[in-house]
């Protein structure tokens, strides 16, 4: 298989590398501001996430062991690779593989500590991965059935609009997105809210530059996850491109609304819900689409 690097791919990768954390930081800041207003507070400045990361970088490095630093940096690197592969239009299965690899390195970083909170957070992170990975893979399968290719560049450049024939899979992704964005009621492993029993979950024993690297990796990841929504609307036209961007903004606002409107559930319930949604929405969607294509109805 040939891999031809074009100037457009290089520019796309560099744009994600440079602008990814900038956009991700702004998204995190706007998220905090909207959340504060929903709770009747004024909220921090939009650039507060940047100030937090800068403060973490200035702290004296204190780590449990050298392995933890390695796993955290590996997570950041693989998250950057994931976004670069996605935005240069590479194979969607490869993108999902690198995304999963980044998540595994976060789990390993948590397991490298002897803290019970950290290790419990790692176990819950693994359970979340087991819950949402089938849904993510079915998204790739569904897009292939509609677009005829796993390449992101082919998916966004032409063909029919995927959101209608893949409505069930799209609903499943919205459900999974709540987990991936670490929003309530599925903030099970990292515990952004201080009242939860896990303290800080997988990041309990991580501080300083390593914690800053995790925050930056989340900025990269959030940009990638929101860009994933665009695949359901893109067909090469400007109109549907604009509709896709509007859909991203509306769905992210929906995720913030869900985060502020629901209490965190137990991991057992989250696991069951995710698998049920995957089987009912995504599974049925793929089966129905298969028979429709068999009889040339789509």
| pLDDT tens digits along 191-242 | 665 444 446 678 888 888 998 999 999 999 999 999 999 999 998 899 999 9
122 vs 133: CA distance, rounded Å = 16
Please report whether residue 1 resides in a domain. Answer: no
Q: Kindly report, residue by residue over 154-171, the tens digit of the pLDDT.
A: 999 888 899 999 999 999
| Residue 262's pLDDT band (cuts 50, 70, 90) | confident
Q: If you average pLDDT over residues 55-69, what whole number do you get?
A: 82
Region 23-47: what's the mean pLDDT? 92
In a domain? residue 2: no
Determine how many CB atoms are found less than 10 A away from the CB of residue 42: 8
Residues ≥6 apart with Cβ < 8 Å to 163 = 170, 232, 233
Q: State the pLDDT at residue 1.
A: 46
Is 53 within a domain?
yes
Confidence bin at 9 (pLDDT 50/70/90): confident
Residue 117 lies in a domain: yes
| CA atoms of 225 and 218, how far apart (whole Å) | 10
Lowest mean pLDDT among 53-57, 64-68, 189-193: 189-193
CB 22 within 8 A of CB 47: no
Identify whether the C-beta of residue 232 lies closer than 8 Å to the C-beta of residue 240.
Answer: no
The overall average pLDDT reported for the chain is: 89
In a domain, 13, yes or no: yes
- The total number of structural domains in the chain stands at 1
Mean pLDDT of 19-41: 93
Q: What is the pLDDT of residue 293?
A: 82
Q: What does the pLDDT look like over 82-118, one tens digit per residue?
A: 999 999 999 999 999 999 999 999 999 988 888 888 8
What is the pLDDT, as a whole number, of residue 40?
A: 87
What's this model's pTM, rounded to 2 decimal places?
0.92
Q: Check residue 115 and give its pLDDT.
A: 80
pLDDT for res 3: 57
Q: Residue 188: give the domain boundaries.
A: 7-294
**pLDDT for the residue 79:** 96
Residue written as token pair 């390593």: 210
- Supply the pLDDT for residue 253: 95
DSSP string, 32-96: HHHHHHHTT-----TTHHHHHHHHHHHSPP--S-HHHHHHHHHHHHHHHHHHHHHHTT-BHHHHH
């Amino acid at each position: 298989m040939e891999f031809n690097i074009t100037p457009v791919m290089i520019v796309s990768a560099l744009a994600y590398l440079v602008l990814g954390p900038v956009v991700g930081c702004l998204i995190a800041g706007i998220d905090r501001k909207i959340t504060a207003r929903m709770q009747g507070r004024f909220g921090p400045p939009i650039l507060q996430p940047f100030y937090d990361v800068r403060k973490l970088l200035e702290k004296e490095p204190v780590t449990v062991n050298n392995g933890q630093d390695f796993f955290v940096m590996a997570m950041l690197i693989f998250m950057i690779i994931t976004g670069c592969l996605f935005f240069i239009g590479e194979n969607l299965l490869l993108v999902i593989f690198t995304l999963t690899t980044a998540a595994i390195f976060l789990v390993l970083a948590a397991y490298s500590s002897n803290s019970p909170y950290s290790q419990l957070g790692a176990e819950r992170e693994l359970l979340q991965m087991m819950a949402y990975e089938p849904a993510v893979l079915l998204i790739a399968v569904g897009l292939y059935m509609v677009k005829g290719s796993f390449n992101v560049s082919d998916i966004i450049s032409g063909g029919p609009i995927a959101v209608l024939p893949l409505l069930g899979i799209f609903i499943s992704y919205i459900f999974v997105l709540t987990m991936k964005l670490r929003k309530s009621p599925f903030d099970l492993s990292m515990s952004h809210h201080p009242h939860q029993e896990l303290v800080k979950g997988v990041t309990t024993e991580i501080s300083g530059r390593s914690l800053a690297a995790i925050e930056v990796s989340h900025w990269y990841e959030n940009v990638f996850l929101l860009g994933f929504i665009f695949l359901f609307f893109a067909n090469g036209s400007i109109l549907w491109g604009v509709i896709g961007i509007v859909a991203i903004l509306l769905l992210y606002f929906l995720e913030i609304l869900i985060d502020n409107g629901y209490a965190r559930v137990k991991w057992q319930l989250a696991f069951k819900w995710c698998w049920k949604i995957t089987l009912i929405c995504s599974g049925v969607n793929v089966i129905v689409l298969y028979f429709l294509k068999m009889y040339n109805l789509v």
